[in-house]
Each structure stands twice: as C-alpha cells, then as structure tokens.
Amino acid sequence: MTEKKINTLLFDFDGTLIDTNELIIQSFLAVLDKHYPGRFNREDALHFIGPSLKQTFESIDPSRVEELIAEYRVFNRAMHDELVEEYDGVVETLRLLKAQGLKMAIVSTKISQTILHGLALMDVADVFDVIVGLDHVTNPKPHPEPLQLALTQLSSSPEEALMIGDNSHDIEGGKNAGVRTAGVAWAAKGEDYLASFKPDYMLKHISDLLTLTKEAVK
C-alpha cells in the first residue's frame, strides 16, 4: 500500500520553530532558585523543556503547582522578546510551505496567548490555519488529543499528516495519533536523544520539509 502524500504539517513551537530554550531555562531557574535555592541547575532545567508546566511543577512540588506556574509566566513574559532567537531559515521556509498550499498548524504544550505572541514576533501568525495550545485540550502531548483536534480542524486525516518537534512528547504524540513524525536535529537535547524515539524523519534544516512535501504540491 502506497503511503499518502504529506499535505498537513503539525508543528511544535518552542525549540522547533523558535529558539526559546534560553528563555525557558532562565524562567525555570528564576522560579526554582527563589523557592529551592541550590537544588536545581541548568542541566536540570534542560530536562523541563517539553512537558507542560503543570507536569513539571507537579513533579517538583505538587502543593504549589499553580503558584509556581504563575511566577514562571510572569518572568517568561517579561523576558520573552529579549531572550528568544530565530532559527535559520524558519520564516522563509514556513512562507514557502504556505504558498504551496500545505495545511499547517501549531500543536504545543504552551498556552495559545504565548504562542500567538511568539508568532507575531516572528511575523508568521498568518501562516498557520490552526493553533492548538494547552488551553484548548484536556490532555497535552504525548496524548493524541491535541493532534487529533488539529487534524479535525484542518479536515485532514492522520495518514496525510506529519508532526514536527524537538522533544520526546512530540514524537510519541505523533505515534499515538497515528501520524508520521519528524525530529529536528537542532533540538536542545540533541539529535541522538531525539533519534532514540525513532521518528520517521530527522530534519537537518527546516527547509528539508520542502523536499518531504514536494509530492503533495506537484
């Protein structure tokens, strides 16, 4: 049986389309150093990249989850524009993919307001047909719910979709939703870490997506 052509792209946001890694690390350390001085370092914070804030702070202190999330978001918003950076070629590639008629969505464990702020900063808010944030679902990735919601809103089937991300929950979420998956070699945790979750593809550069989708736009 021939695989369907990829015409639908589901993107994680942080660490995939925009380099928020330093922002995330500093946001965690600002909060954790205040409440648990000396307990966490940058290496620890690196492992918090990916899961939802609720999942991370529940693992640290279940009794203070909402308080810690609120403090994290205040710092994160204040420092956002100063600490984020663009990855090479992302904006140009996204615009080319859009121009070729591909269906595109953001599927993130971040709240939609913060996603929209980042997209506006990159000037690509108009590229995406659908945005699924943490506030749109009951179960974040790796649960299939966010991907299924995006596919429904895009009128796409799992067989024609590709989930692109920089973390384990992106790859596992894609597999759980029955879509093909692509890791990104620029992931903060490293290409080898991501490859261990066996994505269908590994993007060396964002422009690799132009090759992966060319059959669908012929």
Give the pLDDT of residue 3. 77
Least confident of 1-15, 18-32, 152-166, 200-214: 1-15
- In a 3-state reduction of DSSP, which class is residue 11? strand
Q: What are the tens digits of pLDDT across the range 66-89?
A: 999 999 999 999 999 999 999 999
**Cis peptide upstream of residue 140 (ω within 30 degrees of 0):** no
33 is catalytic: no
**What mean pLDDT value characterizes the chain?**
95
Query: pLDDT-derived band of residue 217, with 50, 70 and 90 as boundaries?
Result: low
**Residue 22: in which H helix or E strand, if any?**
helix 21-35
Q: What is the mean pLDDT of residues 37-61?
A: 93
Query: pLDDT-derived band of residue 4, with 50, 70 and 90 as boundaries?
Result: confident
> Percent of the chain beyond pLDDT 70?
98
6 Cβ contact list (under 8 Å, min separation 6): 160, 161, 162, 180, 212, 213, 215, 216
Give the pLDDT of residue 1. 44
Give the pLDDT of residue 218. 58
CA atoms within 13 A on the CB side of 6: 21
pLDDT exceeds cutoff 50 at 143: yes
Catalytic residue among 12, 19, 170, 208: 12
Q: What is the mean pLDDT of residues 123-129?
A: 95
pLDDT exceeds cutoff 50 at 102: yes
Least confident of 39-43, 65-69, 81-85, 214-218: 214-218
Integer angstrom CA distances of residue 47 from 139, 192, 213:
20, 15, 31
- In a 3-state reduction of DSSP, which class is residue 109? coil
Q: What is the mean pLDDT of residues 23-51?
A: 94
Q: Which residue has 């261990």 as its token pair?
A: 196
Q: What is the mean pLDDT of residues 53-68?
A: 96
